[in-house]
Amino acid sequence: MYTGFLKVDPLTKKPIGRVTPTKRGNIFAEMAGQNWIGTPSTVVVRKECFERTGLFDEAIVFGTDYDMWIRISKEFHVEYIQEALINYSVHENKMSGRPDLQIKGLEALLNKHGSYFASDSKNYSRRYSVLGLLYCHQGNAQKARTALLKAVSLYPFTLKCYFNLMLSFLGSANFRKIAG
């Protein structure tokens, strides 16, 4: 079971956004597209879930929670409480601000769940596109091109993938200047 939450400014402690759950029941197929459950602080899990699916995978440095929710949603129906019961502090020192960890985590998720993600080619492509952008921002244009080519091959209907692929040929420094 998971709940809604308020995004809170860490300095003022005032709400700056709200996340409301929308998915319940058998959501396994929908989890291939995105993490519908979200942050672990909003989740209560029965011991039986961990006994059947295992604990958090420590080999995944970023996206560990998403991996867990995929495994749980495969075995169990999911329920939510719509009310925002958690205040989630949005700050700059979070893992999503670390592209190196995002790359490692995304690669691990793609290795572990690639065949599952393939059930939704558009979102599978989006994951490789994100990986390509992260590589470019980290200065590795060659790996960026490989990931972006994979994104295009998986779902060739997203023009932005082609644009980013072409930018990657200008090198990482130029990519960052143009793409931002």
**Each residue's pLDDT tens digit, 85-115:** 999 887 666 666 788 999 999 999 999 999 9
What is the rounded average pLDDT of the residues 126-134? 96
Pairwise CA distance, residues 37 & 69, whole Å: 7
CA 64 to the chain's CA centroid = 10
Q: 32, 19, 73, 66: which is closest to 49 by C-alpha?
A: 73
C-alpha distance from residue 86 to each of 8, 18, 19, 22, 122 (Å): 10, 10, 10, 16, 32
What is the rounded average pLDDT of the residues 25-39? 94
Site of tokens 């980290």: 138
Q: 75, 28, 81: which is closest to 49 by C-alpha?
A: 75
In this prediction, residue 176 has a pLDDT band, given cuts at 50, 70 and 90, of: confident
Q: What is the pLDDT of residues 112-126, one digit of tens each?
A: 999 999 999 999 999
| pLDDT in the model for residue 89 | 87
| pLDDT in the model for residue 90 | 75
Cα angle 35, 86, 99; round to 5: 45
Q: Residue 6: exposed, middle, or buried by beta-carbon count in 10 A (0-12, 13-18, 19+)? A: middle
Q: What is the overall mean pLDDT for the chain?
A: 92
Do the beta carbons of residue 103 and residue 134 sit within 8 Å? yes
What is the rounded average pLDDT of the residues 128-148? 94
pLDDT at 172 over 90: no
| pLDDT in the model for residue 54 | 96
C-alpha distance from residue 134 to each of 23, 91, 105, 121 (Å): 29, 20, 12, 20
| pLDDT in the model for residue 82 | 93
